[in-house]
Amino acid sequence: MSGVSEPTDDPASDDPPGDHTNVGVYTGTDTLLAAAPARPTLGTGFAVDAGHVRERAASLATTTDALQFTPFDSSGGEAQVFAAVWHQIRPQLYDEADALLDHVRQFDAPRLVLARRRTQPATLWESRTNDGNGAWLPTATRQAVTDRACEAEVPVVRVTAPGRRDDCHRCGATGTVADGQLACPDGSCPVDEVGRGQNAAVHLARRGARE
Ligand SMILES: [Zn+2]
């Protein structure tokens, strides 16, 4: 996708020899879906911005919030709105998940590494309002990726989410974030900017290699 910088070549980083190539998969609200291996090289990164999907999710949250402010019982209306929007978004998420699975076929024996949820997951319905930015969307995206990986017989592991995902994947300095891009503050680091989601995906892949 244009506009998102890929992780810079990182020959020094370590992906211990194993049976799999660990590919970190990040899902978020700024970048819908991003992936990268532990040792990124040009062309190994993957990112989907999916602004149109995020806009639909955001408008769903706004509509739901408005319905909840009405003085009458709006739960039936909320369910209809949610069902209608989900009907539109769901096939798009699975299309993006298909594109991700196509992308990871370039690796030897790929294994997807996703973040383990910190808390008991809420259902999509329970988390549909959230902070107005459709926080249920990353959860739904993860589910789409997991389902497609299962169908493609690509193994999936879940690891504890790296605590400092906005540290530069190359030098470890904590970057600054703007418009889904992470800028490395270290002038001597070859990373100028990297997609935030792809940077987080590199951290996930490395954690997957260690666990
Ligand atoms: Zn750096």
When pLDDT is averaged across residues 45-62 and rounded to a whole number, the result is 83
Residues by chain with Cβ below 5 Å of ion ligand 1: 168, 170-171, 184, 186, 189, 191
Q: What is the pLDDT of residue 58?
A: 80
Most confident region among 8-17, 82-91, 111-120, 180-189 by mean pLDDT = 180-189
| Residue 42 · residue 130 · CB < 8 Å | no
How many domains does the structure of the chain reveal?
Answer: 1
- 14 domain residue, yes or no: no
Centre of ligand 1 to C-alpha 162, Å, is: 17
- 7 domain residue, yes or no: no
**For residue 62, how many other CB atoms are within 10 A of its CB?**
13
Judging by DSSP bridges, how do beta strands 33-37 and 46-48 pair with one another?
A: antiparallel
**DSSP run (H or E) holding 95:** helix 75-104
- 2 domain residue, yes or no: no
**CA 30 to each of CA 133, 140, 180, 195: distance values in angstroms, whole numbers, following the listed order:** 9, 15, 6, 10
Give the residue with greater pLDDT, 66 vs 21: 21
| Residue 112 · residue 157 · CB < 8 Å | yes
- 9 domain residue, yes or no: no
Q: Tell me the per-residue pLDDT of 147-173, one tens digit each, with 9 for 90 and over.
A: 999 999 999 999 988 888 899 999 999
- 8 domain residue, yes or no: no
Centre of ligand 1 to C-alpha 170, Å, is: 5
Q: Determine the Cα–Cα distance for residues 170 and 159; give it in Å rounded to an integer.
A: 21
- 81 domain residue, yes or no: yes
Residue 196 domain boundaries: 21-210
Q: Tell me the per-residue pLDDT of 5-37, one tens digit each, with 9 for 90 and over.
A: 777 665 544 555 567 899 999 998 778 899 999
| Token pair recorded at residue 76 | 């039936």
Centre of ligand 1 to C-alpha 6, Å, is: 13
Q: How many residues does the chain have?
A: 211
pTM of the entire predicted model: 0.82
**CA 132 to each of CA 60, 126, 180: distance values in angstroms, whole numbers, following the listed order:** 8, 14, 18
CATH number at residue 99: 3.30.420
Centre of ligand 1 to C-alpha 39, Å, is: 14
- 101 domain residue, yes or no: yes
Centre of ligand 1 to C-alpha 195, Å, is: 13
Centre of ligand 1 to C-alpha 79, Å, is: 46
- 16 domain residue, yes or no: no
